[in-house]
Amino acid sequence: MRIAMISEHASPLAAKAGPAEKGLGGADGGGQNVFVAELAAELGRRGDYVTVYTRRDAPALPGRVRLAPGVTVEHVPAGPPEHIAKDALLPWMHDFGTYLERRWAADPPDVAHAHFWMSGLAAIQAAQPAGARRVPVVQTYHALGTVKRRHRGAKDTSPASRVRLERAIGRGADAVIATCSDEVAELAAMGVPGDRVRVVPCGVDLGLFTPDGRAAGRGDGGPHRIVALSRLVERKGVDTAIRALAHLPGAELAVAGGPPRGALDADPEVRRLRRVARDAGVAGRVEFLGRVGRAEVPPLLRSASVVVTLPWYEPFGMVPLEAMACGVPVVASAVGGHLDTVLDGVTGALVPPRDPEAAAGAIRALLADPAKRAAMGRAAGDRARERYSWARVAAATAEVYRHAAALGEVAA
């Protein structure tokens, strides 16, 4: 099958970049980059041919780059070739769609898979040009504007038209992939037809994330290390983890993510989090590591007694899966995809978001019981291997592609 993936702001090449390059951990770089890279590579291993279209955001980027066997990344000229925050990209999506329309007019793919709502706009525009075969479109939102607006309110920087356009995309796509069961209810409330929605979760690289291997060196804050790995934006709830640390005197917190280590002092969110740590009396037990290269994430996770991920909301959340695959229990906020991946009391603990005392209580119970931690770590690893391999995710995604293509043939 020839598959076009559209990921307008999240290049899969960022998932392969080192910490000093344009890698993961910045404001717009995270799970979607990894998702697109890993899914495309796994589909390539299955024998499919994948072209990932992402926006050219630097003038020196080549037109096409081979990502993996059967997988090519193509840089689309849409807007100036420079970094633009994803919430400011909407004016350039028509140009993105026009480029795809020209590319597909002579040689259409069998299916187009759009990642994020703006990619969906471009894909649907390009999929139905006059006089050409219509390309079936599969949509994965990765995040929904209705949820963001509910939690961020006036701080939401999304375009005002986002929610309206997301509804239109959901009704115009041939199939919609939700990454968790919580998203299905959100889509239904938006008016997306339920018969078009399929749940396919994110996956985890089980060759990279394993219980075996070295653990990163630890600081001197105490006998227990707690690790938070996250983009450093307010809604990720790192401040909740810092405030919880005030109730955990025998522990240190390592925070990975954000800008490279040398640029931490200039980052507004890092400065805010350091103030939170000072106010909570734990500044000496919180270490900011900055952006961490992909290969260094498993040793960091293995160094933890517990991994915490405490966002206000989370469309899916790949960090819990990565920690689970490393055999480390997770304390996570009971939101979004965490409700599917983390089994409360079995592979970790679920706590209310924005509740430092509840998080501290769950962490304390695990730190005080090494046998329970070990049992949860084993159960977490088993769950990750049984349910969340990329091979399993790719197979389920390919089934959605076939379903969408069949619908397209009937419509034609």
Give the Cα separation of 257 and 263 in Å (integer).
12
Give the start-to-end residue ranges of the domains of the chain. Answer: 2-203+390-411, 224-387
In degrees and rounded to multiples of 5, residue 330 shows phi and psi of -125, 135
Please check the confidence at residue 263 and state whether its pLDDT lies above 50.
yes
Integer angstrom CA distances of residue 219 from 201, 224, 260, 313, 356: 35, 10, 19, 30, 23
What is the distance of C-alpha 240 from the center of its chain? 20
Please check the confidence at residue 19 and state whether its pLDDT lies above 60.
no
CATH no. of 224-387: 3.40.50.2000
Give the Cα separation of 242 and 184 in Å (integer).
32
Q: What pLDDT score does 21 carry?
A: 43
Q: What pLDDT score does 125 carry?
A: 96
pLDDT exceeding 70 applies to what percent of the chain? 93
Integer angstrom CA distances of residue 160 from 48, 96, 153: 38, 20, 12
Q: What is the pLDDT of residues 61-74, one digit of tens each?
A: 999 999 999 999 99
Q: Does the domain made of 2-203+390-411 have the CATH classification 3.10.580.10?
A: no
Q: Write out the E strands in 117-262.
A: 137-140, 175-178, 197-199, 224-229, 251-256
Q: What pLDDT score does 335 carry?
A: 95
Q: Maximum Cα–Cα distance for the chain, whole Å?
A: 69
Q: What pLDDT score does 338 carry?
A: 96
What is the arithmetic mean of pLDDT over 319-325? 97
pTM above 0.95, yes or no: no
Lowest mean pLDDT among 8-22, 128-142, 187-201, 332-346: 8-22
Give the Cα separation of 255 and 290 in Å (integer).
8
Task: Check: CB of residue 138 under 8 Å from CB of residue 164.
Answer: no
Positive/negative CA dihedral, 310, 315, 319, 324: positive
What is the arithmetic mean of pLDDT over 352-364? 98
Integer angstrom CA distances of residue 245 from 152, 229, 255, 285, 333: 25, 16, 12, 8, 16
Q: What is the pLDDT of residues 172-204, one digit of tens each?
A: 999 999 999 999 999 999 999 999 999 999 999
Q: Predicted confidence band at 355 (pLDDT cuts at 50, 70, 90)?
A: very high
Please check the confidence at residue 391 and state whether its pLDDT lies above 50.
yes
Q: What pLDDT score does 219 carry?
A: 56
Burial of 156 (0-12, 13-18, 19+ CB in 10 A): middle
Q: Predicted confidence band at 383 (pLDDT cuts at 50, 70, 90)?
A: very high
Task: Check: CB of residue 40 under 8 Å from CB of residue 66.
Answer: no
Task: Give the type of residue at 82.
Answer: E
> Does this chain's domain 2-203+390-411 share its CATH topology with 224-387?
yes
What is the arithmetic mean of pLDDT over 277-302? 96
- Averaged pLDDT score across all residues of the chain: 92
